[in-house]
Structure 1
């Protein structure tokens, strides 16, 4: 119990530096394996709403890419989640800062008492994140959900994942944006090809004719596949050794 409490307070010190927190902050959270801010997105390799949205947009392979309609629906769900939970997240940040200050003064008992005041907030945020994940799943096709399940981190313990710092969050978002910008020509070409494939299939064209369409963009598909692997490696490199040790690596 003493070791758990010490780990908890160490995690809290890092958590209080972030704008939003997704990792557990009490001994009971660690013992029960339940993340104080919800574990659904971390377990899926997405960590938090905005980053999970980007991982879905850039991580899925070309034949399972999100449609424009799916992207719009997911963006709306993420915005609604962020708007609805903003007050709780801000209140929790204030509580975490207060607890962190108590911990720095060496009063672990005071820190735990402060954290206890956040129990209801943590429960609401955890439930809201789980609902967001379920709502996003409902937007996805069965094939997309199956791919995500197969490529989510296998040995992830979200209760041990220290929350992303503001700097890490900014780095990951920049990496995702750079992937989209630097690969725009290939992304557009491959999307157009798959749109053409769908039209060809609806028109009853032969497999050979469909294969010719994809053959035209084969180099672009290969470049994008390599780019996605590199992007995931870059995101992984942003994580600290402690975060990696939790097993909660990026989706992909």
Structure 2
């Protein structure tokens, strides 16, 4: 993966992102994202990196805080932290005896994000929530990026709650409710309008979408990207893996660079 990331950087891609899954109910090999991204960070110099997205309810937030700060330093400030509920809940949580109730996981996600921000501050931090409790802890070093590592929040549109959550942070990553329907410019505008109505900050904000990736001709998606950019898109994420081609085909597609 580190070599693929290096080739992606050389070909002009702007970011290299991984899944954050444990099992997914499929017999496909994939790596732990934080181990893989550490290797990517050491092999690259420019591309942004991150896991899209981390089901924060499945992890202890103070451990995530330590891993993300370490990775932000390894990459010299290139990490983006993606967070969401995690899907599918049965495969991601239930088979391991963990909580599958969406309200509980949403509460853990919200509290977990608050804990991350507090620990990233490098200042003495205490927290009292329904799920997490912290007494006077100071995490050092601070992230390279200030005021914090950027946070993108994923969610299924047209569910509103994930995007009220996303409005508090630095970017929104919508997917369709069925998980397969592509995000259209109209959907992206609706999400952007909804998030914008709930924003309390004027800081720059990212709108992120997964984009279908033709393995043979990058120009096939150029028009679609333009339409999405006009609707507010700032990052288009393409999926590469064994489900849509061979490793050699993936490498060749990466070498072609992003659509232009």
TM-score computed with the length of structure 2 as normaliser: 0.22
Greater RCO (CA < 8 Å, at least 6 residues apart): 1
Report the structure, 1 or 2, having the larger helix content: 1
**Larger of the two Rg values belongs to structure:** 1
Report the structure, 1 or 2, having the larger strand content: 2
TM-score computed with the length of structure 1 as normaliser: 0.23
